[in-house]
Amino acid sequence: MTIEFSKTLRATTTPIPGVVLYDLPVHGDNRGWFKENWQREKMLALGLPDFAPVQNNISFNEKAGTTRGIHAEPWDKFISVASGKIFGAWVDLREGESFGAVFTAELDPSQAIFIPRGVGNAFQTLEDTTAYTYLVNDHWSADAQGQYTFLNLADESAAIAWPIPLEQAELSDKDKAHPRLADVTPMPAKKILVLGADGQLGKALRASYCGNETVEFVTRKCFDLTAEASYRGRNWKNYSTIINAAAYTAVDTAETPEGRKSAWAINVTAVANLAKVAAAHGITLVHVSSDYVFDGTLELHDEDEALSPLGVYGQSKAAGDAIVATVPRHYIVRTSWVIGEGNNFVHTMASLAGRGIAPAVVNDQVGRLSFTEDIAEGIQHLIETGANFGVYNLSNDGEPQTWADIAADVYELTGHSRDAVTGVSTEEYFKGKDAAPRPLHSTLDLNKIKATGFTPASAAERLREYLDK
């Protein structure tokens, strides 16, 4: 066998989404050759997913013509040849438009290929004493075998042109008995798990993902974030993403002894449990944060601002953010002044207007509303576009306003006089009341999420639509 030495490390896409062929530099002399079969830093720079291999397997094949496959396992694989040469064939057996797509190539030790979960893998040795090696990102188990998907090597629709005809090749009886493509049940995609599905954001996520069977919604009754049993009773290998839409949000009650315990149990301890699960299983964790992680001294908050919470609620959210930031695959979505289905500030103001009440509303806190439909769409955008992991501010767009400005808009849009709303300072409004401290400036810089291609609607536009409903 002749090996081409000193190739440039290079990635080449294939007709199967996610399947990438690599040229590997092999360095040789009179003694033999050496190569870096897997080099994480260089591979990531070429765009290979950081798939975290946990097991290295080698298949030794004594004779040319040995043929194995077509097997699709529930994990990702990085395949290369240690010695000899193979003809490789890969068929997409995942649910979706690319189901049945085929790619073939000859591989020697100077090449490797990345095969995502659900893509059928097969090879035929072209030389004696061929060794075939692969890294996988999950441990083999007997239970996992029930999740395999198989295709017959001789399937007519795949029409793989095996160099050595199958009737002359070495095949196992099991491989001969695998089904044709028409009888294959495609491997389902990994699921997205939405926690807190009965809250304001959870309801918006239900609407955003309506009809998507790969998204699973669970409420507090079904999944108690504070109970260890909730984390043990689920097969986390079947999930790609967790969206944590659950939170303790009673800002003032959090200042009480019982409220403080509840805030930390849900916003910190439960988040730590989710972070452990996500890190252990390579799951993307989406966590919703708050403007309350800042003290509000800056008029505009970007994603790099140091955390500086004023009260217990803000402190618990800041602690949760710090935990989530340790998860390799994470999105922290920071919002402000959330409005969705259910009781909220806009709903309250509209109710007061309808009853002819003239309220006193705070006029020295400045920010923007965040409507849950835009938060949900922004989260979906980050996940589906594969945006860089990290923190993203996400509120609605437009000129910042005070709560009093927004209340006046609600009155006007519902056919009442703006003058019914009286502005008062935060200090005046909460005088004599047990209340948590509030940041006076809550406006979030949206440039980072806009750079990913997502521009939230203006708060004024969403307010009109919300009140029209």
Instruction: Tell me the mean pLDDT in the region 260-289.
Output: 96
Position 3 scores a pLDDT of 77
| Amino acid identity for residue 109 in this structure | P
Contact at 8 Å (CB) between 58 and 155?
no
Position 232 scores a pLDDT of 85
Instruction: Tell me the mean pLDDT in the region 369-376.
Output: 98
Instruction: Tell me the mean pLDDT in the region 395-399.
Output: 97
Position 87 scores a pLDDT of 97
Gyration radius (Cα) of the chain, Å: 28
Instruction: Tell the residue number behind the tokens 């946990």, with chain if given.
Output: 54
Position 293 scores a pLDDT of 98
Residue 208, pLDDT > 80, answer: yes
- Name the nearest CA neighbour of 293 among 442, 397, 430: 442
Residue 309, pLDDT > 80, answer: yes
Which SS3 state, helix, strand or coil, does residue 196 take? Answer: coil
Share of the chain above pLDDT 90, in %: 86
Instruction: Tell me the mean pLDDT in the region 81-91.
Output: 96
Phi, psi angles (nearest 5°) of residue 50: -80, 80
CATH of 191-468 among 3.10.580.10, 3.90.1150.10, 3.30.470.20, 3.40.50.720? 3.40.50.720
Active-site residue, selected from the candidate residues 22, 132, 134, 466 = 134
> DSSP states of 275-335 as a string?
HHHHHHHT-EEEEEEEGGGS-S-SSSB-TTSPP---SHHHHHHHHHHHHHTTSSSEEEEEE
The reply to whether 191-468 shares the fold of 10-183 is no
Instruction: Tell me the mean pLDDT in the region 391-396.
Output: 98
Residue 11, pLDDT > 90, answer: yes
Q: How far apart are the first and last CA of the chain?
A: 72
Residue 17, pLDDT > 90, answer: yes
Angstrom distances, CA of residue 150 to CA of 19, 139, 196, 375: 18, 19, 37, 40
> In whole angstroms, what is the distance from residue 398 CA to residue 409 CA?
14
Position 228 scores a pLDDT of 85
pLDDT band at 391 (very low <50, low <70, confident <90, very high): very high
Q: Which two tokens stand for residue 268?
A: 């910190």
> In whole angstroms, what is the distance from residue 359 CA to residue 423 CA?
9
pLDDT band at 145 (very low <50, low <70, confident <90, very high): low
Position 217 scores a pLDDT of 96
Residue 10 bridge partners (DSSP): 23
Residue 143, pLDDT > 70, answer: no
Tell me the per-residue pLDDT of 169-186, one tens digit each, with 9 for 90 and over: 999 999 999 999 999 999
Considering 86-95, 133-142, 210-219, the range whose residues carry the highest mean pLDDT is 86-95
Residue 361, pLDDT > 90, answer: yes
**Domain ranges within the chain, ordered by starting residue:** 10-183, 191-468
Position 279 scores a pLDDT of 94
> In whole angstroms, what is the distance from residue 415 CA to residue 180 CA?
66
Q: Is 10-183 in CATH node 2.60.120.10?
A: yes
The reply to whether 313 belongs to the active site is no
Position 5 scores a pLDDT of 81
Residue 146, pLDDT > 70, answer: no
Instruction: Tell me the mean pLDDT in the region 230-248.
Output: 91
Residue 4, pLDDT > 90, answer: no
pLDDT band at 1 (very low <50, low <70, confident <90, very high): low
Instruction: Tell the residue number behind the tokens 């955390």, with chain if given.
Output: 307
pLDDT band at 89 (very low <50, low <70, confident <90, very high): very high
Q: Is the backbone peptide bond immediately before 115 cis, with ω within 30 degrees of 0?
A: no
Instruction: Tell me the mean pLDDT in the region 98-122.
Output: 96
Tell me the per-residue pLDDT of 30-67, one tens digit each, with 9 for 90 and over: 788 898 999 999 999 998 988 889 999 999 999 999 99
> In whole angstroms, what is the distance from residue 369 CA to residue 442 CA?
10
Instruction: Tell me the mean pLDDT in the region 2-6.
Output: 77
Contacts of 187 (CB under 8 A, 6+ apart): 72, 74, 93, 94, 95, 117, 118, 147, 149
Residue 142, pLDDT > 80, answer: no
Angstrom distances, CA of residue 166 to CA of 80, 170, 172, 179: 23, 8, 11, 16
In the chain, helix, strand, coil percent, each to 5? Answer: 30, 25, 45
* Mean pLDDT of the residues in the chain: 94
Which range (221-235, 272-286, 302-316) has the least confidence?
Answer: 221-235
On whether the pTM is more than 0.75, the answer is: yes
